[in-house]
A = this chain, B = another copy of it.
Amino acid sequence: MSTQADPTMDELTDLVFLAAGRLRGGFNTAAAELGLPPAQALVLTNLSAPAPMRDLAEWLSCEPSNVTGIVDGLERRGLVIRRPAPADRRVKHVVLTEEGERRREELLARSRAQARALFEPIGPDKERLRDLLAAVLAGSPDPGKGHACDR
């Protein structure tokens, strides 16, 4: 296993970060326009259905104690409520309000528009790019601490 510099590899990591940065920049801008800080907006996108705090923490790759604060913010803004799960009253489901649903749709729409604009240049090669990235990610298991935050 060589430890030499690998220019292609370095370019590749830079490009992945740059591409993610563009997407994230667009997402954060869209979130800000809707009056949402990044982490709260990120959680919102993940609420296609009610979800326990625990799942959100796992999805965000962060400590559960952190999720408390983020969901507090969403609750303050009236976009979400906590509903104790009937089956197990320890767990609380985070559920979108009507306003939360609206805000989420708007956020997704804007986010997708950003993505479309970014990937426009390669047009037909979209599938090829997707397959390559999928192969990369299928390769090694998630080592945790991915930290989706600041999408």
Which of A's residues lie within 8 Å of B, judged by CB?
A: 3, 5-6, 8-13, 15-26, 28-29, 61, 109, 111-113, 115-122, 125-130, 132-140, 142-151
Contacts and interface: CB of A to CB of B under 8 A. Distances in A.
A29 to B, nearest CB: 6
A134 B12 CA distance: 9
A138 B119 contact: no
Given A13-B111, A21-B146, A129-B136, 8 more contacts: A17-B23, A19-B136, A21-B148, A28-B147, A118-B139, A121-B135, A132-B132, A147-B150
21 contacts: A5-B112, A8-B127, A10-B115, A13-B111, A13-B115, A17-B24, A18-B146, A20-B20, A24-B146, A25-B61, A25-B146, A28-B147, A29-B145, A117-B140, A119-B136, A120-B139, A121-B139, A122-B136, A125-B132, A128-B132, A129-B136
Contacts of A10: 112, 115
A129 to B, nearest CB: 5
Contacts of A140: 22, 117-118, 120-121
A121 B147 contact: no
Contacts of A122: 132, 135-136, 139
The 8 closest A-B pairs by CB, nearest first: A121-B139, A20-B20, A21-B146, A15-B133, A25-B146, A25-B145, A13-B115, A129-B132
B16 A147 contact: no
